[in-house]
Structure 1
Amino acid sequence: MSNELRKKLHDLAELVDNTPDPQTRAIVEAIRLQTAVLNERLFSIELQLGTLARRLEGATE
């Protein structure tokens, strides 16, 4: 996870803690959780692409 994304997730967590309105808090928390899930999926894709690139390099040698 990039430092920038980590900071944004932290900022969203603080916003959740400091939002007095329960409905707004729920929306911000949902956004924070979806952002974390998307980050995990992107990380998984990056790993798969790295594996594929290494296989392709091995096949061309």
Structure 2
Amino acid sequence: MLTNVEKHTIYDIQQNLNKETVVQRLSEISDKYCIKMEMWQPYKDAVKTVHAKLSLIRFK
């Protein structure tokens, strides 16, 4: 699930959250300034691929 934490809204719910899907979806979201996420390596790689300069916040 991709959400906007600040606005408390859902961007999208995907059944497939492999790196390629996450990269594609992150590329389509324009209003991001940091990423709060589960620190699973494919997610981290996807964020670095799309937005290397964004801050990553660990989700527990």
* TM-score between both structures, scaled by the size of structure 2: 0.29
How does the TM-score come out when normalised to structure 1?
0.28
Greater strand fraction, Structure 1 or Structure 2: 2
Return the structure number with greater helix share: 1
Q: Which has the larger radius of gyration?
A: 1
